[in-house]
Structure 1
């Protein structure tokens, strides 16, 4: 293990992260808010800590190994979440505890969107902007950003990229050089954010709201600058724009790259995961429409409008709201919550287990059924016309098994704290799938939960964001063996 090299990179990344507090301070300065002091102090603390970590190891240039990459990613997300909580804790309004500040910080960086803060409409704009910005950086991953702009990471870039990026096919690169791949991803990400912000602004949002909501929309985060979320604007046009960009951000960014390079959208429908993603969203939308219209929850037009928005928002794990979906009739709240387990596509900014994994599980289940009828038959698992290596299928099975096991253990722990069944299940599902809104006591916010529960859920957010294995591998004796 290259501990001094890990220390050097951790210091660099922490100094890089400290600069994310300056835009919030600038917003506070522009609006004449006292809150800017908290961000300036937090910037100084974070930058100094990064500098002190970096100086003793600044001359190290050893090659990173796979284990080093995993340790850097986990350590940095932990440190980033803790230091990201510093300005939140220092702010006089709202007055947050350490547990609240860390929860909010991890929720932003992991693009979960669960919040302990209420009264957003009256809070300093610097704080509101900072929350949105946390989600934007966390969406594509601050590690991928670092690989894109810091050539000093050199040959270790692939290890960081593989440990950070979501999905079972992490070895795939869009360009020959990993740094160029990271840059391409960030160009697409930034381009979508700019387009989303301009669309929101043109639709009637203020410039501040447009930029803030573009950050969380493209990041599939779900934080808003208003307690009523997107419902605050009561605009069908804004909701439509939000649906479009949530949908686009839930697609594998490699497909966006191919569409841009070849000036064609054919690759979207040719991709099996993208087709499954569209079909899942379509089926959920139809189910929600039928139930809402049948129970006359709203009129027909409103049922279609709200069903479309909440389906895309929850299924992609964004978490925006235009209405309280937890109050919808019959099975709809749990149906949408279950959809968050599937989540968005691999290689997107969404959470959940990812559509491609669920698709592979379905195909593997189909293959096992065929083998019961034809024990000696050979039935390869295919995506499109290409067979999937057994190693990938086995990895998907392993991931899902560990995911379910981790969920079951954390669920029992939450129940032991005194939470009711619905609140414990939905809060854990919403945090581990990086969704945000839940059911029961957490249908609107998480502020009433105990500090113990908030720490557990913060861990669940990180577990989901790093896709279980990246974090849990550190708890195995083999990882630390020489």
Structure 2
């Protein structure tokens, strides 16, 4: 009986995956719309995208026809976890094909580049100054999709009311509104509105339309892919840096907080601790970076402050844009600067945002708990202390389940960070450089000391690829999804063996 139920549920899972990937070719063909930006000699690179779209469409139709699912069929969070893992895995693979079929990168490099795009990391295998422009657009689209978790947002919309389990399996704490489809619609409205505003702002401050389009997508997605190998620093423009900082902050702010502000509920907005904590961290770390590093690089204090602020915000928000080259810092003894940026990358941005890292919500909850414990020490023994915390418009109390989640996520993060740093260091890199580079991958940031590139060893490429994937999906959904698949597969195999 259970085996039959299991088969039916996996039909639903594969049916929904098939439905998504019948729409996905539209996304793959999007770069073709911007052909007017591409030089005539690069138009042949449109073909790999057409071939990829055909492959994905055939895949989606095969699943959709084979595993028919009734629209609106509900999904549990466990089934949602399976779909999240499979959709991200298939999405990364299919998105890598244009790089591979276009002979831009080899297979491992293509998977890395696609993963870096989907996870909004920004570490790259390509030279932005020489790669065909269609691939620069494709990378930006990947980061824009990955920033909002577009694949899962699309799936939630397809699943309708039944997409609740899927929506939450990806790590989103709250719906903006009770209806999942309405939540999806509001997220997309917010996201696209900021992207359009960013594009126009970049045009106003002097960017050309091609650069403005790409950077508005990747800045808002806190992705960090640029159209130039020198990143934002290549423009050497304070107005462009200001626009970028604003977009980075918008991207790293949780969608629930944005929605609260959009509704005009300023009272609830001001009670959210994440923006306050992020502001405090920037205020503390910018002078530290200025004193320990940037004042030694630049003689002009104003210029030193400008670059210290930008690098600090880029690291904290998980964007990965840079205005200075940090690859030589270690050789010149600027280890304190690398250490401070590594800490900022580990902190990360808001929950339910485009950023990675440990997340401000968890850090803020931890700080509130510490002060609550101190306060409780001076209260009567039988006193009940409730610690409240705001997320968007909702007030909640810090419950044991949240404390357990924080403990588990922090533990998994630092275990993975330690292992990954060790692997990177084993390739002959200093501990400072290795910890910086892997923190950048695991927190989906994209800043690099020069370790990551087309000449990187295969083992290092796949280590960072795994780090980006784990960091973006925050460990648990991957563990739950894979565990569920293995458990169900073992049960099915045992049942089949017994029946024989």
TM-score normalized by the length of structure 2? 0.88
Contact preservation (8 Å) 1:28, 1:125? no
Instruction: Give the greater-gyration-radius structure (CA).
Output: 2
The match for 2:110 among 101, 120, 135 is 101
Please name the residue that 2:367 is paired with.
362
Decide whether aligned partners of structure 1 residues 294 and 136 sit closer, same or farther in structure 2, where only a CA change above 3 A counts: closer
The answer to whether residue 165 in structure 2 is matched with residue 159 in structure 1 is yes
- Written as runs of structure 1 = structure 2, the 5 A alignment for 1:130-145 is 130-145=138-153
C-alpha distance in 2, partners of 1:111/1:238?
21
1:422-441 alignment runs, 5 A limit:
422-439=432-449, 441=450
Matched, 1:128 2:136: yes
CA–CA separation in structure 2 for the residues paired with 1:79 and 1:137: 14
Tell me by how many angstroms 1:438 deviates. Answer: 2.8
Q: Which residue of 2 aligns with 1:400?
A: 410
Task: Tell me the distance in 2 between the aligned counterparts of 1:200 and 1:400.
Answer: 37
Do the aligned partners of 1:148 and 1:183 also contact (CA within 8 Å) in 2? Answer: no
Deviations 1:442-462 (A, max 9, x none): 2xx422211122112111111
Structure 2, unaligned runs of 5 or more: 1-5, 492-500
Partner Cα separation in structure 2 for residue 101 and residue 260 of structure 1: 39
CA contact (8 A) 1:111 1:219 kept: yes
Query: How far, CA to CA, are the matches of 2:291 and 2:266 in structure 1?
Result: 31
Distance 1:298 1:203 in 2: 26
Q: 1:342 deviation in Å?
A: 0.9
**How far off its partner does 1:189 sit?**
0.3
**How many residue pairs were aligned?**
469
CA distance in 2, matches of 1:281, 1:479: 43
Map of 2:185 onto structure 1 = 183
The equivalent of 2:307 in structure 1 is: 306
Alpha-carbon separation, structure 1, partners of 2:358 and 2:100 = 32
1:148, CA displacement in angstroms?
5.8
In the other structure, the counterpart of 1:387 is: 397
State how 1:136-285 maps to structure 2 within 5 Å: 136-147=144-155, 149-150=157-158, 153-166=159-172, 170=173, 172-262=174-264, 265-285=266-286
Q: For 1:196, what is the secondary structure of its paired residue?
A: helix
> Could you list the runs of 5+ residues in structure 1 that have no partner in the other structure?
none
SS of equivalent residue, structure 1 residue 123: coil
Structure 1 residue aligned with 2:68:
58
Note the C-alpha offset of 1:347.
Answer: 1.6
Partner of 1:332: 337
How far residue 16 of structure 1 moved from its aligned partner, in angstroms, is 2.3
Residue of 82, 93, 101 corresponding to 1:90: 101
Q: 2:16–2:155: 8 Å Cα contact kept in structure 1?
A: no
Match of 1:316 in 2: 317
Cα displacement string for residues 376-430 of structure 1 (whole angstroms, at most 9, x for unaligned residues): 4644333268532222122212221222223223334444555543343222211
In the alignment, the residues of structure 1 paired with residue 171 and residue 100 of structure 2 have an alpha-carbon distance, to the nearest angstrom, of 30
Report how far residue 478 of structure 1 moved: 9.8
Change (3 A) 1:459 1:270: same
Distance 1:375 1:327 in 2: 56
RMSD: 2.4
Counterpart Cα distance in 1 of 2:273 and 2:370 = 17
